[in-house]
Amino acid sequence: MCGFIQRETNAPAVLELLEEVGLGETIPLFNHEAQHSDTLNFYPAFGKAVDKRISNLIVDSKRTINATWWFDASPVGETLALGDRTTFNARNLDSPYWHKAISKRRGVVVATAVGESNPSANGKSQYLMRATSGAMLLGVVYRMFSNGCFSCAVVTRPPRPDFSQYHEKSIPCFLPHDKEVINAWLGNGNNEAVDELLSNPKIYCDLEVTKVKTFKSGEPLAASAILPASTC
């Protein structure tokens, strides 16, 4: 489960990564974002809070959208009504529910950190994972509605052994810092690159993992550890 995303908007690594993977034309949109906030914290739309959106979700090499982080939605007037189905993560991609989105509506979120949690003796332990390189990419799916609104979900996959200590049921679909693969991910339809990403989830940059009191505060409860990038 991925239930928290952070983006430090003034981090040079964010813009450098966009340029590296062929998304440089979106940089003005991220520069504009940085004028309003140094740090953006994104949360799923629990409680049907339609304003819980992920901003600058990249849908092609030039365009971004702002999407409510809850896939199950329907248009009502100029906004969305959110459904009861818990859909901030897209996990069972073989389900007909996700078929159109994973085939035709894939997007990319740039993050500097994500939050994961695991059950513990005291309830639940929360882990903040920062990209030691300064930025990382996450695969998402999104929906477009007739009133111009959007909703989205972070794609997750079955857990890797090295990641399961921080979340036992799934791993976010991290994306490689590779121009050709990102272009394939943002394209329509299935292809070998997308199939490989979904069938063989990997960690593409070293992650500094810290057990924290809350994701937003980042207050450490223990020393940090490095979760290295995958080698296989």
**Contacts for 131 with CB less than 8 Å, ≥ 6 apart:** 13, 111, 112, 113, 205, 206, 207, 208
| CA dihedral of 6, 129, 215, 115, whole degrees rounded to 10 | 80
* Whole-number Cα distances in Å, 41 to 30, 33, 129, 153, 171: 15, 13, 13, 16, 19
pLDDT in tens, 87-113: 999 999 999 999 999 999 999 999 999
Give me the tens of pLDDT residue by residue for the chain, a chain 232 residues long: 689 999 999 999 999 999 999 999 999 999 999 999 999 999 999 999 999 999 999 999 999 999 999 999 999 999 999 999 999 999 999 999 999 999 999 999 999 999 999 888 778 899 999 999 999 999 999 999 999 999 999 999 998 999 989 998 899 999 999 999 999 999 977 789 999 999 999 999 999 999 999 999 999 999 999 999 998 8
pLDDT, residue 100, reads 92
**Contacts for 92 with CB less than 8 Å, ≥ 6 apart:** 98
DSSP 8-class letter at 159:
P
User: Please, where are the H alpha helices in the chain?
Assistant: 12-20, 27-34, 96-104, 179-186, 192-199
List of domains in the chain: 4-227 (3.90.1680.10)
SS3 42: strand
CA distance 185 to 131: 21
Place of tokens 């299935």: 190
Residue of 170, 167, 88 whose CA lies nearest to 120: 167
Residue of 128, 108, 117 whose CA lies nearest to 173: 108
Is residue 82 within 8 A of residue 72, CB to CB? The reply is yes
Q: Render 164-219 in DSSP notation, one character per residue.
A: TTT-SS-EE-EE-S-HHHHHHHHSSS--HHHHHHHHS----S-EEEEEES-TTT--
pLDDT, residue 188, reads 79
pLDDT, residue 49, reads 98
SS3 96: helix
CA distance 65 to 54: 8
CA distance 91 to 53: 20
pLDDT, residue 119, reads 83
pLDDT, residue 168, reads 87
DSSP 8-class letter at 131:
E
